[in-house]
Amino acid sequence: MKDKIAVQVDDLTVAYNYKPVLWDVDLKIPEGVLMAVVGPNGAGKSTLIKSVLGIVKPLAGSVKVFGKPYEKQRRHVAYVPQKGSVDWDFPTTALDVVTMGTYGRLGWMRRPGAKQKKEALEALEKVGMLPFKNRQISQLSGGQQQRIFLARALVQNASVYLMDEPFQGVDATTEKAIIRILKDLRRTGKTVIVVHHDLQTVPEYFDWVTFLNVKKIATGPVKEIFNDDHLTQTYGINYKVSIQP
Ligand code: ADP
């Protein structure tokens, strides 16, 4: 029974330069779902994720994670940013970046020890990046950096995972590897929220979906609401997606 709410968005309105990009959005995302956020470019999908993280400040409304603002739940939320959105101008290895994911649980003044390193190595193995552990992060491809960010999120052992287009520009093998990991997270009761572009794969990958186009069009179980009506309302006139049986 999915009755606990992991993320609750109430009356959220966000504007950049006085232009609203999210308008009066309400969402209740139950704990333990693997949810896609879909909508056209500029629909406010990234802005929604950034609002949960407190990176953008709303004009109105609020976002809560397990009933409290993000600032109080930081430790329980992991974020995988959009590929290429981070510039690495300082030298740091893949292993360092993943080990940093354990810091939140360590608290100030404590340095990661053998246990944390072991966790980081296991996460690198999980995302297929162990052979690159000593590589400078700046010298990895965008898709490889994406896997490193995923590994870092895994060691955070969070309750809520937010991912901004994790499949963008990755090859088919990486996509399969990532979705397997996301399904594993769901299996262990985590809540995973993913900005996603490929409508064809929504029914195969996700069990929950939110349609967004500045306003929330619909949110709920894929089986119930992933239909042409909602796609048309979100993407425009007579939008149809042919879903493979
Ligand atoms: P999506 O992820 O659905 O493509 P975004 O949330 O990235 O949409 O952006 C929504 C709208 O807000 C777009 O029109 C975008 O150009 C605009 N926008 C996003 N970030 C900023 C910003 N920092 N300053 C001004 N406008 C922005």
DSSP 41-52: TTSSHHHHHHHH
Side chain identity at 45, as an amino acid letter?
K
Closest CA to 149 of 100, 183, 111: 100
Per DSSP, the three-state class of 83 is coil
Task: Output the pTM of the full model.
Answer: 0.90
Residue 230 makes CB contacts below 8 A (sequence gap 6+) with 211, 217, 218
Best residue among 38, 46, 57 to mutate for probing ligand 1's pocket (most ligand atoms within 8 Å of CB) is 46
pLDDT single digits (tens) 24-79: 999 999 999 999 999 999 999 999 999 999 989 999 999 999 999 998 998 899 99
Q: Which residue is closest in CA terms to ligand 1's atom 25? A: 16
Residue 220, both tokens: 């709920």
Per DSSP, the three-state class of 15 is strand
- Confidence check: pLDDT of 108 > 60: no
Report whether residue 58 contacts ligand 1, using a CB cutoff of 6 Å.
no
Which helix (H) or strand (E) segment is 230 a member of? helix 228-235
Looking up tokens 């993000």, which residue turns up? 70
Q: Report how far ligand 1's centroid is from the alpha carbon of 61 (Å).
A: 18
